[in-house]
């Protein structure tokens, strides 16, 4: 790990003006290292498709919940999720697994992940899937996978082969943590991207280890809402702007949240096969600095909260709200204007930036969710309580968004 970080610090500056789209910051935490024994699979999604939703699928061997794009191809690609066996998968683009490969077949990562969620129960199932699919696979990716048997690994995957990195191997992951951005570590990393974000995530997760805090709220705040830049040592949360009405622009390249960040998902897996029903997924739809996190469970059935579910127009209300708020954060749309964030809209000394207005709303969600989780794990609450929670959640967000943000979340 130390040698990798040294190389990352060297090549970080090369990534500043690297590719702007189809990126991601991802990590795995092995359940052997978390206080509750549950593994964590995390993806901060950077993409050119801003409209993201959640969909409950029953079109395979296993039922699953997946993150999808808001376009006509939504049913064919899944960009992260988990299934009823406790198997979960995410990815980040790698860009350096297929060097010298002239194959024209590409962009199949979403198809591979959908197939994995439909058919896989274990890491071994996923490995067999990769081995048996026709080649070239059409992928250049780091696939993160967990299962209910304690399995947790990244698969650095190209068109013809993959290399496994086991989060349960102390020689590979001393703290049970593996991070991947936009390069595979088994390939030529000088041809990859995402080094600054990798290093920032490493700093944040080392802090989590030191504080022994792997709660969903802590991880979202310190990854998807992390405003520290590991190369320039800039922290945008220090010396914040005075007023919301006075724009304060900051160069905003290679922070973990980016102008092209469309969502974040965190699957909290099952500690073992006896507790598969406890597995769940948290999701932030839209720009993480202008949205809130929402939990979902497969065990609750096919009716998801309306705020995150795809509508007939291929949109999710919570994502649409976040994208609307995001416009004030990136108001300069010409030239290179999207490289600059209006920090005043996010956070300011008047305490009325989007991050500040949304935080107490999200705190309410976490409080109610933690109570529900405790009840479910003690056998005092059931599937019906999850469904009732979904109803409460939609009403709570509808009311608070109207009162605190003057925004109508649901049009019907």
pLDDT digits (tens, 9 = 90+) for 161-191: 999 999 999 999 999 999 999 999 999 999 9
CA 365 to chain CA mean position, Å:
18
Q: Looking at the predicted structure, is the pLDDT value of residue 70 above 60?
A: yes
Has residue 7 got a pLDDT over 80? Answer: no
Q: From CA 56, how far away is CA 68, in angstroms rounded? A: 10
Q: Mean pLDDT, to the nearest integer, of 23-29? A: 95
Average pLDDT, the chain: 94
Q: Which residues contact 200 (CB under 8 A, 6 or more apart)?
A: 226, 228, 229, 230, 255, 256
Domain ranges of the chain: 2-368
Over pLDDT 90: what percentage of the chain?
94
Q: What is the pLDDT of residue 412?
A: 58
Convert the pLDDT of each residue in 315-364 to its tens digit. Answer: 999 999 999 999 999 999 999 999 999 999 999 999 999 999 999 999 99
pLDDT of residue 2: 46
Q: Which of 8, 135, 98, 110 is nearest to 57 (CA)?
A: 110
Higher pLDDT, 2 or 183: 183
| CATH number of this structure's domain 2-368 | 3.60.60.10
pLDDT value at position 151? 98
The pLDDT assigned to 137 comes to 98
Instruction: Report the pLDDT value the prediction gives residue 15, as an integer from 0 to 100.
Output: 42
pLDDT number for residue 368: 98
Lowest mean pLDDT among 1-15, 98-112, 314-328, 380-394: 1-15
Tokens of 305: 């909260």
Whole-number pLDDT of residue 12: 46
Q: Looking at residue 21, what is its pLDDT? A: 55
| pLDDT per residue as tens digits for the range 119-175 | 999 999 999 999 999 999 999 999 999 999 999 999 999 999 999 999 999 999 999
Task: Give the confidence band of 45 by pLDDT, cuts at 50, 70, 90.
Answer: very high
pLDDT digits (tens, 9 = 90+) for 270-306: 999 999 999 999 999 999 999 999 999 999 999 999 9
CA distance 377 to 404: 33
Calculate mean pLDDT across residues 192-217.
97
How do residues 252-272 score in pLDDT, each as one tens digit? 999 999 999 999 999 999 999
> b/e string for 173-208 if b means 16 or more Cβ within 10 A?
bebbbbbbbbbbbbbebeebbbbbbbbbbbebbeeb
> pLDDT class for 411, splitting at 50, 70, 90?
confident
CA–CA dist 225, 135 (Å, integer): 38
């Amino acid at each position: 790990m130390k040698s990798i970080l040294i190389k990352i610090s060297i090549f970080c500056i090369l990534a500043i003006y690297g590719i702007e789209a189809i990126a991601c910051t991802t990590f795995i935490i092995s359940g052997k290292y978390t206080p509750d024994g549950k593994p964590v699979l995390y993806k901060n999604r950077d993409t050119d498709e801003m409209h993201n939703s959640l969909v409950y699928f029953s079109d395979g061997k296993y039922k699953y919940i997946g993150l999808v794009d808001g376009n006509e191809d939504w049913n064919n690609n899944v960009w992260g999720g988990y299934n009823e066996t406790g198997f979960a998968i995410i990815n980040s683009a790698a860009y350096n697994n297929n060097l010298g490969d002239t194959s024209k077949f590409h962009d199949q990562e979403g198809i591979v992940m959908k197939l994995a969620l439909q058919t896989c129960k274990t890491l071994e199932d996923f490995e067999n899937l990769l081995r048996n699919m026709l080649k070239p696979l059409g992928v250049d990716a780091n696939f993160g996978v967990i299962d209910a048997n304690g399995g947790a690994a990244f698969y650095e995957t190209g068109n013809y082969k993959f290399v496994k990195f086991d989060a349960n191997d102390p020689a590979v992951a001393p703290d049970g943590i593996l991070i991947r951005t936009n390069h595979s570590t088994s390939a030529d990393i000088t041809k990859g991207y995402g080094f600054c974000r990798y290093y920032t995530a490493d700093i944040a997760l080392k802090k989590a280890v030191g504080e022994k805090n792997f709660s969903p709220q802590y991880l979202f705040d310190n990854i998807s809402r992390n405003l520290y830049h590991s190369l320039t040592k800039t922290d945008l949360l220090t010396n914040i702007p005075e007023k919301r009405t006075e724009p304060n622009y900051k160069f905003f390249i290679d922070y973990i949240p980016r102008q092209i960040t469309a969502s974040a998902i965190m699957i909290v897996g099952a500690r073992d096969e006896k507790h598969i029903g406890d597995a769940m997924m948290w999701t932030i739809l839209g720009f993480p600095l202008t949205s809130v996190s929402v939990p979902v469970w497969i065990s609750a059935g096919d009716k998801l909260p309306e705020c995150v579910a795809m509508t007939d127009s291929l949109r999710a209300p919570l994502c649409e709200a976040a994208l609307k708020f995001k416009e004030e954060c990136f108001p300069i749309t010409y030239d290179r204007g999207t490289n600059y964030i209006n920090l005043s809209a996010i956070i300011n000394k008047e305490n009325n930036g989007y991050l500040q207005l949304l935080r107490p709303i999200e705190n309410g969600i976490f409080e109610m969710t933690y109570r529900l989780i405790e009840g479910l794990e003690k056998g005092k609450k059931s599937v019906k309580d999850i469904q009732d929670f979904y109803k409460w959640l939609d009403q709570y967000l509808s009311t608070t968004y109207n009162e605190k943000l003057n925004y109508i979340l649901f049009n019907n």
